[in-house]
């Protein structure tokens, strides 16, 4: 019976909103973002292009704009629509008329709520439909090769459901506020305040589970639904909980005419209110409780799918520290699976997919799931499983820097004010500990305990290193500049049992090596460090420290004979032979890269198929850019390399070469076809020379002198200022260039 009345009230509400234009506004809201992107693309050339992994044009458009639509436009529409639906009856006393009809107050309240739900659905469907139409239109107009016309129906449905569920809590809250508060302005301002808090959370990179409006933004921060560990994010469950809570509060408040009558007037009301608070409080706790990764019993699994234009038969798992092969994982029908019961040490690893690498953290008990996409230009991997939080943290940490390290430490501040220095140091330390302890992804996934412990230890190493540098810069003997004892002891205690991943990290090993030197400094630090290392007990820590010290010595010593002699002297002090093999291979590469060493013979093919070597450029300095068509960073550096070639083209004694290391020559030929360039383009035929030069990552820039010998084996990227500084030292001819 109640359902019949609810349907009646919905029909009545729908008639009333016809004159409010809310349906048209919902359609326009959905159209606005896709249309704006299309119009902008006409005038902004970079928006016409797409150079990412091959995917659906529809998926690319929706994924790129979903956060802007849902986090701002849809949210703003819900705020406006809820206020308009309720305020129409507030103004004309429509409540009195409705309550005089043979319908219950539950039907009236539910009718308004469902009407707002329908309007939100219209806005969401409008956005999805117009995104499909306009993305396909853009594909036709701008001929975006890597985008297909496929319509991913299952993905669209998943995205629609997530977006709809994620906004239910806000719908319920705004409807409650709009019905209970007479007047347009306050419900509207509360909603706008929610928008502002969302922007603040975005800027501060914070998530507020307790704040209803922020749940939608958190949900939409993962715009690609297929990247979720589960079908729904925890924020969607929170939204359903908020929707139920505010619906109950709003209905009871409205039907019983006030807070007191609804919740505390009678003992029965108080009991039910307490039960309700406990229920929803328990739901909130259950939904938002930390989601720690599940570890497998006595086994480790890596599995996934790969979509590739070229056949890839296997993926090879290596350790990141020593490039030690761990396993070969066969790929069949686009799928791969590897399981082992062996002990897997806790450290970084990488999977090699035919020279394209993906790095991640791994230890025994982990279950890693990868979705790999590979085309001639791009390589991307979506990761799920037990190390997802660690991977997201590492990606974020590469862009982070703090006020303390960037401004105070690097800027050498407070050299005469140790109290201020250590005050800022302790503040930074406490902030780092709190951040690492509380870090979680937008899926509410926390670190595994081993990684959390390692990151806190790593932060302790960084702080101790900063303190040691500060004391060396000021005074190592004056107690005035010594750190507070309790502070130093806390940091050192954390490092008494370092995690294995810390032992192999460069930051830890460099700090340990520096700590072997006397505080007052030394004129022969390498000799002191080697002597101290020899005294250490055999083991993993000694092997890692000796490895780092040898590589440090090799990289700053220009005498090949001296490098070889030092290696011969200390190789017997390693306990594990794999370290000796690794360093020996590194030594060969370093020797091959030494300034004045003859450049290995390169067999270069030009567009016509003619072969030549570097000897044709004798008498000139040669700047070589090793690149490939599939290398995304190469696409960024290549235009700058072209610009540098234009700057120096007036000099007869410098030539710029772009040497492709593509295995498939045809891909290189297609890429440079009909492309004008100031750089001579070649394809490298004998790619076996690359490991000899240590060229395992591209882009890589090498400078050859006029005699065909190595001048600089590790040239900076052309974007860096010292790239030009090195070239300017080669010629006495001044360079003056004006570009219009």
pLDDT of residue 399: 52
Instruction: For residues 52 and 579, give the distance between their C-alpha atoms in angstroms, rounded to a whole number.
Output: 39
Check residue 253 and give its pLDDT.
87
What DSSP string runs through 610-641?
-EE-GGGGTTSEEEEEEE-TT-HHHHHHHHHH
- Higher pLDDT pick, 173 / 398: 173
The backbone torsions φ and ψ at residue 168, rounded to the nearest 5 degrees and listed phi first, read -60, -40
DSSP line for 22-69? HHHHHHHHHHHHHHHHHHHHHH-HHHH---SSSEEHHHHHHHHHHHHI
378 pLDDT tier (thresholds 50, 70, 90):
confident
pLDDT digits over 434-466, tens only? 999 999 999 999 999 999 999 999 999 999 999
Give the pLDDT mean for 124-132: 96
Residue in this structure with the two tokens 């659906």, named with its chain if needed = 56
Which residue has better confidence, 725 or 238? 238
Residue 477 pLDDT level (bands cut at 50, 70, 90): confident
Q: Is 193 helix (H, G, I), strand (E, B) or coil?
A: helix
Q: Is 167 a catalytic residue?
A: no
CB neighbourhood size of 336 (10 A): 21
**DSSP β-ladder status, 621-627 and 654-660:** parallel
pLDDT grade for 651, boundaries at 50, 70 and 90: confident
pLDDT digits (tens, 9 = 90+) for 216-241: 999 999 998 888 888 999 999 999 99
664-681 pLDDT per residue, tens: 888 888 888 767 777 889
| Mean of pLDDT over the chain | 89
Contacts for 411 with CB less than 8 Å, ≥ 6 apart: none
What pLDDT does residue 429 have?
96
Residue 514 pLDDT exceeds 60 = yes
What average pLDDT does the segment 142-161 reach? 89
Task: Decide if pLDDT at 244 tops 60.
Answer: yes
Per residue in 184-204, pLDDT (tens digit) is 889 999 999 999 998 888 888
- Higher pLDDT: 42 or 467? It is 467
Task: Indicate the pLDDT class of residue 736, thresholds 50, 70 and 90.
Answer: very low
Query: What is the rounded distance in angstroms from the CA atom of residue 277 to the CA atom of residue 241?
Result: 12
Give me the DSSP letters along 314-372.
Answer: EEEEEETTT--EEEEEEEETTEEEEEE-S---SEEEEEEETTEEEEEEE-TT-EEEEEE
Helix (H, G, I), strand (E, B) or coil at 609: coil
pTM over 0.85: no
3-state helix, strand, coil in the chain (%, to 5): 55, 15, 30
At residue 739 the predicted structure's pLDDT band, cuts being 50, 70 and 90, is very low
**b (16+ CB within 10 A) / e for 138-177:** bbeebebebbbeeebeebbebbbebbbbbbbbbbbbbbbb
**pLDDT tens, position by position, 249-266:** 998 988 888 888 888 888
Cis peptide bond upstream of 314, omega within 30: no
At residue 737, does pLDDT exceed 50?
no
Q: How far apart are CA 714 and CA 624, in angstroms?
A: 11
In contact, 521 and 471? CB cutoff 8 Å: no
Residue 522 has pLDDT above 80, yes or no: no
Other CB atoms closer than 10 Å to residue 403's CB: what's the count? 12
Report the alpha-carbon distance of residue 493 to residue 683 in Å, rounded: 55
**Which pLDDT does position 622 carry in this prediction?**
92
If one counts every other C-beta atom within 10 angstroms of the C-beta of residue 628, the result is 22
Give 680-700 pLDDT, tens digit per residue.
899 998 888 888 888 878 889
pLDDT confidence tier of residue 247, bands split at 50, 70 and 90: very high
Q: How far, in Å, are 1, 129, 212, 643 from residue 151 at the CA level?
A: 42, 11, 32, 40
- The span from the CA of 739 to the CA of 718, in Å, is 18
pLDDT at 735 over 70: no
- Distance separating alpha carbons of residues 37 and 60, to the nearest angstrom: 12
Q: Residue 99 has what pLDDT?
A: 59
The DSSP-derived string for 543-567 is: HHHHHHHHHHHHHH---HHHHHHHH
For 524, counting Cβ atoms within 10 Å of its Cβ (0-12 exposed, 13-18 middle, 19+ buried), the class is exposed
Give the span between the Cα atoms of 628 and 630, in whole angstroms. Answer: 5
pLDDT at 734: 42
Average pLDDT over residues 511-524: 83
Binning pLDDT at 50, 70 and 90, where does residue 97 land? low
pLDDT digits (tens, 9 = 90+) for 48-72: 777 777 889 999 999 999 999 999 9
pLDDT value at residue 552: 92
* Mean pLDDT in residue range 165-187: 91
Which backbone phi and psi does 392 adopt, to 5 degrees? Answer: -65, -40
Range from 376-385, 573-582, 625-634 that averages highest in pLDDT: 573-582
- Lowest mean pLDDT, pick from 3-17, 173-187, 385-399, 634-648: 3-17
Percent of the chain scoring above 90 in pLDDT: 56
Query: Rounded to an integer, what is the distance from CA 564 to the centroid of its chain?
Result: 41
Question: How deeply is 645 buried, as exposed, middle or buried, from its count of CB atoms within 10 A (0-12, 13-18, 19+)?
Answer: buried
Residues written for the chain: 740
Helix (H) or strand (E) holding 108: helix 105-142
- Ranges of beta strands (E only) in 363-413 are 367-374, 379-385
- Give the pLDDT mean for 570-580: 93
Tokens of residue 729, six digits: 């030292």
Interhelix angle 525-535/540-556, nearest 10 degrees: 160
Question: Per the residue annotation, which of 33, 177, 634, 679 is the catalytic one?
Answer: 634
pLDDT attached to residue 738: 35
Residue from 631, 693, 695, 715 carrying the catalytic annotation = 631
Alpha-carbon distance of 626 to 695, in angstroms, equals: 9
In this model, does residue 3 exceed pLDDT 90? no
Q: CA 212 → CA 167, 190, 228, distances in Å?
A: 9, 12, 21
Identify the pLDDT of residue 92.
61
């Amino acid at each position: 019976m109640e359902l019949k009345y609810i349907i009646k009230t919905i029909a009545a509400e729908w008639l009333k909103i016809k004159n409010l234009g809310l349906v048209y506004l919902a359609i326009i809201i959905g159209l606005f973002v896709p249309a704006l992107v299309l119009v902008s693309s006409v005038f902004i050339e970079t928006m016409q292009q797409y150079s990412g992994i091959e995917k659906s044009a529809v998926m690319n458009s929706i994924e790129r704009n979903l956060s802007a639509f849902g986090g701002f436009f849809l949210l703003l529409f819900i705020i406006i629509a809820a206020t308009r639906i309720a305020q129409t009856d507030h103004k004309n006393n429509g409540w009195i008329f409705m309550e005089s009809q043979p319908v219950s107050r539950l039907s009236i309240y539910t009718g308004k709520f469902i009407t707002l739900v329908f309007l939100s659905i219209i806005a969401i469907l409008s956005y999805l439909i117009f995104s499909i139409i306009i993305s396909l239109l853009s594909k036709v107009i701008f001929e975006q090769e890597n985008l297909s016309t496929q319509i991913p129906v299952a993905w669209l449905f998943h995205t629609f459901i997530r977006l709809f569920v994620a906004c239910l809590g806000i719908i319920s809250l705004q409807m409650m506020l709009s019905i209970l508060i007479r007047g347009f302005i306050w419900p509207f301002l509360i909603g706008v305040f929610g928008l502002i808090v969302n922007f603040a959370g975005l800027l501060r990179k914070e998530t507020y589970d307790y704040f209803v409006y922020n749940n939608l933004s958190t949900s939409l921060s993962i715009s690609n639904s297929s990247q979720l560990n589960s079908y729904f994010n925890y924020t969607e469950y929170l939204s359903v909980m908020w929707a139920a809570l505010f619906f109950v509060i709003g209905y009871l408040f409205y039907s019983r005419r006030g807070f007191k009558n609804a919740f505390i007037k009678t003992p029965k009301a108080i009991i039910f209110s307490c039960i309700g608070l406990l229920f929803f409080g328990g739901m909130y706790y259950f939904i938002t409780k930390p989601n720690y990764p599940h570890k497998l019993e006595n086994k480790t699994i890596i599995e996934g799918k790969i979509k590739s234009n070229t056949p890839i038969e296997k993926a090879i798992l290596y350790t990141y520290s020593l490039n030690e092969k761990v396993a070969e994982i066969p790929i069949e029908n686009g799928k791969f699976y590897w399981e082992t019961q062996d002990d897997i040490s806790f450290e970084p690893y990488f999977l090699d997919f035919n020279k394209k690498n993906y790095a991640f953290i791994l230890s025994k008990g982990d279950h890693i799931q990868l979705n790999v996409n590979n085309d001639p230009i791009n390589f991307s991997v979506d990761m799920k499983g037990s190390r997802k939080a660690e991977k997201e943290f590492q990606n974020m940490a590469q862009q982070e820097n703090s006020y303390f390290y960037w401004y105070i430490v690097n800027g050498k501040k407070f050299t005469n004010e140790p109290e201020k220095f250590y005050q800022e140091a302790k503040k930074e330390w406490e902030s780092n500990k709190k951040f690492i302890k509380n870090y979680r992804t937008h899926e509410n996934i926390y670190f595994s305990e081993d990684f959390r412990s390692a990151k806190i230890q790593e932060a302790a190493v960084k702080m101790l290193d900063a303190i040691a540098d500060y004391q060396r810069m000021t005074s190592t003997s004056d107690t005035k500049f010594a750190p507070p004892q309790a502070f130093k002891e806390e940091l050192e205690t954390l490092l008494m049992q370092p995690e294995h991943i810390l032992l192999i990290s460069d930051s830890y090993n460099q700090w340990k090596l520096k700590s072997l030197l006397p505080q007052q400094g030394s004129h022969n630090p390498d000799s002191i460090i080697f002597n101290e290392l020899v005294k250490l007990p055999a083991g993993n820590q000694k092997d890692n420290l000796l490895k780092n010290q040898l590589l440090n010595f090799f990289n700053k010593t220009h005498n090949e004979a001296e490098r070889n002699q030092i290696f011969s002297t200390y190789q017997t002090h390693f306990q594990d032979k794999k370290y000796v093999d690794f360093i020996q291979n590194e030594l060969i590469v370093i020797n091959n890269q030494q300034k004045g060493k003859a450049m290995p013979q390169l067999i270069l093919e030009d567009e016509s198929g003619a072969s030549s070597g570097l000897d044709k450029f004798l008498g000139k300095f040669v700047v070589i850019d090793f690149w490939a068509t599939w290398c995304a960073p190469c696409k960024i550096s290549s235009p700058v390399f072209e610009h540098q070639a234009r700057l120096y083209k007036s000099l007869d004694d410098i030539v710029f070469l772009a040497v492709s290391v593509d295995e498939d020559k045809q891909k290189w030929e297609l890429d440079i076809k009909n492309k004008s360039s100031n750089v001579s383009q070649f394809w490298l035929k004998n790619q076996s020379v690359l490991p000899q030069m240590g060229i395992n990552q591209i882009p890589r820039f090498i400078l050859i002198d006029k005699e065909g010998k190595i001048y600089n084996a590790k040239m900076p990227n052309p974007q860096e200022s010292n790239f030009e500084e090195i070239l300017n030292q080669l010629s006495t001819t001044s360079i003056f260039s004006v570009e219009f």
